[in-house]
A and B are shown apart, each in its own frame.
Chain A
Amino acid sequence: MLHDSHQRRLIINRCWLIYDLITKKFNPLHEFHIEFPSFVELALISGYLQVFVEITRKGCSLRIHEEYDFIEHMLIIKVYNYNLLDKSKHSIIRSDSLPHHRFDYKGHNLSHFPDHLHDEKGRICSFSGKIEDFVKRASEIIESEGQD
């Protein structure tokens, strides 16, 4: 097994936070609740969480990828990629932590470099790097389009 018990606990807590967040903000299909433990299980072995969940009747979905590492006793998210997709699986908004952008589309420094978000128009925007903020924004988009 890749991780010791403390590291396993940290990964489980992180996965719980994500599960709790998704199920509080959205109303995923029944299958999501059945599948989610297997996503966690793979994350416990590989240090890589992959979640795909349909969140609206019209077929919008969230794709969440996080790669974990540990520094001393802390879990860090080494790389992430959060994506809100339409029914054709095209990205509506997405965010990641790759250091390929330093400025937002207005030319201002990113507030939390390297974290950034590609908005609905594909423009680079500042982003906190927190999944809570991404899910909140995704939820606002879904509500504004009346897709729930």
Chain B
Amino acid sequence: MALNRGGKKHMKMSKEKFIREISNLQLSTDTAIANLSKQLHEYEEKYNLRSEIFYKLIVGTPAEDTPDFIAWAMCYRSYFRILQSKFSVEEISTGVA
């Protein structure tokens, strides 16, 4: 078995193992929200700009065309997508219209 750059044995997973590994992990929606929220906060610190303002001012303009801004916009949309999904599920389960 070949060694990789870290000097450890290659660990490439087969597709079956890959699917099994994913099935074994149980990231909660709350953890995912916290993860994305942390990333949003890091962008906000780096650019000294709140995400809402960034999204309104930059997204959809040519200024968006930088790797950080593209990722920031994706992160922001994903954050709200999870929040929306979480609250619609909770509203359904608690009978809130």
Binding site for B on A (CB under 8 A): 1-2, 12, 16, 19-20, 23, 27-31, 33-34, 36-38, 40-42, 44-48, 50, 57, 63, 65, 67, 79, 81, 83, 91, 94, 96, 98, 100-101
State A34–B21 Cα separation when bound (angstroms). 9
CB distance from B20 to the nearest CB of A (A): 9
- State which of B22, B36, B62, B74 has its C-beta within 8 Å of the C-beta of A44: B22
Binding site for A on B (CB under 8 A): 4-6, 8-9, 11-13, 15, 18-19, 21-22, 25, 27, 29, 32, 35-36, 62, 64-65, 67, 70-71, 73-75, 77-79, 81-82, 85
The 3 lowest CB-CB distance pairs between A and B, nearest first, are A33-B11, A48-B78, A46-B78
- State which of A23, A33, A47, A81 has its C-beta within 8 Å of the C-beta of B67: A81
State A29–B3 Cα separation when bound (angstroms). 10
CB distance from B60 to the nearest CB of A (A): 9
Across the interface, do B82 and A37 meet the contact criterion of CB distance under 8 Å?
A: no
CB distance from A20 to the nearest CB of B (A): 8
Across the interface, do B85 and A2 meet the contact criterion of CB distance under 8 Å?
A: yes
Given A48-B75, A81-B74, A33 and B65 contact (CB-CB distance below 8 Å): no
Query: A65's closest neighbor in chain B, by CB?
Result: B71
